[in-house]
Structure formats: C-alpha cells, structure tokens
Amino acid sequence: GAVVSQHPSWVICKSGTSVKIECRSLDFQATTMFWYRQFPKQSLMLMATSNEGSKATYEQGVEKDKFLINHASLTLSTLTVTSAHPEDSSFYICSAPTPDRAYGYTFGSGTRLTVV
Amino acid sequence: AQKITQTQPGMFVQEKEAVTLDCTYDTSDPSYGLFWYKQPSSGEMIFLIYQGSYDQQNATEGRYSLNFQKARKSANLVISASQLGDSAMYFCAMVGYGQNFVFGPGTRLSVLP
C-alpha cells in the first residue's frame, strides 16, 4: 500500500538553528502534501498545504517565513523550521491523499522536534 | 465550516469488553467522509475506518465498527473485544468536498487488564 516516509523521526536542535523535515511518498506520486503540528495532548492542527510546483498555502496564523515548505517533486515535500525557538518544539506530521482509495490519506510517521 | 466534537477526553475499558468512542460533527456539505484514526504513543496515525456520507450501511473493519447516524450527525466508533494494544489516542476526523481534514480533539483510551 501507499507509504509516506518521514524523516527524521526526532531531532534536537539549538535555538536559532534551522531544521528540515522530509516527507517522501513511496510507490506513488503525491501532488499534494499536508503538514500538521501537534502539541502534547492536543489534536493535529493543519499548518499548510503544499502542491508540487507551486507555492504552499498556509493556514491563518502560521508564519510562512518561519515554516518554509517546498514541494519540488511529485515524491518529496519538505518543511524547514527556520531560526527555531523552544516554542517551536512540537510533533510535526505530514500526510498525502492515498491514490489507491477513493478516500483516505496516508500519514508519515511524524517528527518530534525539540528546540533547546 | 466543519467541526468535529469528541466529548470524552479519556475512557477506560476492561480488556475483552466493548467500548464506544463518541464523535459528532457539523458540516453544511452534502458530501463528506468520516474517519477514525488511532495514535499510539509513538505518534504515528493509524487509519482505522471510513464512512462516506452516502453510505447506507455502517462501516466495519474487523473489531472496529462505525455507528453512523446521519440525522444526528454522529459517527461513534465501537471497538469490540478490547485488547491492551488498543490503548492510545483516538481521533475522529472529517473531510468535505474540496476541503481539508478536520480533526476532533481526541479521546485517550486506556484498556485495563
């Protein structure tokens, strides 16, 4: 079945540095990728939607200059957290529409980011 | 706007018993899909079950069934014969035509031995 591979699974970085998170669709082409953030004990909140070959669409309140999203190919979407601060520490997860079903989305395994 | 409500922050169930997790939704779309996902402590989102708004029968997937009551806008998840491995967060979600996923706040299920 369709798989979205997300890396890294966890990362610890120093405040002020940038972190890149990758989501790759395996065995299928993902023209759209959704990026979510999840704080502890909370639900998933959509941050942005990336579309291959065009600019990402950001949800209200999400800083596009801080959370850079690139969808350069049909199998790779990246989220870069720039100048990370401790308040950016969270669980980030991506998902793409599942091609072999008329419904449903395939999620990556998530990235736990800790900024110290 | 779409909205999902899960009124049970936490639930306990004895192993081998059945449990119902509540979910109500609000949408003006005539066509939509309802989903349940399981999120264990590892963080991955595991798809459990799907119900389309036009589906006449309640969806079932193994030990999971969805009690879909369209008029009441509810889509409760029923887990039969609970297992210790069922302990996790459970999210109800929906997607309408041309719209993004909307997740509920989640219910933490704890299965007791």
A70-89 confidence digits (pLDDT tens): 998 999 999 999 999 999 99
Q: Which two tokens stand for residue A7?
A: 């890396």
Give the whole-angstrom CA distance, residue A44 versus residue B110: 20
- Predicted local distance difference test score (pLDDT) of residue A103: 64
The β-bridge relationship of strands A111-115 and A10-13 is parallel
B6, B105 Cβ separation under 8 angstroms: yes
pLDDT at A100 over 80: no
* Cα separation values, B54 from A44, B47, B49, B60, B74, Å: 26, 20, 15, 15, 14
As a whole number, mean pLDDT of residues B100-106 equals: 90
More confident residue, B97 or A54: A54
Cβ neighbours of A37 in B, within 8 Å? none
Q: Could you give the CA distance from residue A86 to residue A23 in angstroms, rounded to a whole number? A: 23
| Region for A88 from its dihedrals, namely left if φ exceeds 0, alpha if ψ lies in -120 to 50, beta otherwise | alpha
Q: CB count, 10 Å around CB of B112?
A: 11
Question: What confidence tier does A54 reach under pLDDT thresholds 50, 70, 90?
Answer: confident
B87/chain A closest Cα distance in angstroms? 15
| Amino acid at site A46 | L
Which residue from A38, A105, A106 is facing B101, i.e. has the nearest CB?
A105
Q: Are A64 and A49 in contact (CB under 8 A)?
A: no
Q: What is the pLDDT of residue A8?
A: 97
Tokens 């449903």: give the residue. A104
Q: Under an 8 A CB cutoff, do B50 and A104 touch?
A: yes
Minimal Cα distance from A93: which residue of B? B44
- A112: closest chain B residue by CA: B43
DSSP chain A: --EEEEE-SEEEE-TT--EEEEEEEESS--SEEEEEEE-TTS--EEEEEEETTS--EEPTT--TTTEEEEEEETTEEEEEE-S--GGG-EEEEEEEE-TTSSS-EEEP--EEEEE-
Cβ separation B42–A93 shorter than 8 A: no
Instruction: Determine which of A58, A103, A113 to mutate to test the interface with B (most B C-beta atoms within 10 Å).
Output: A103
- pLDDT at position B10 is 96
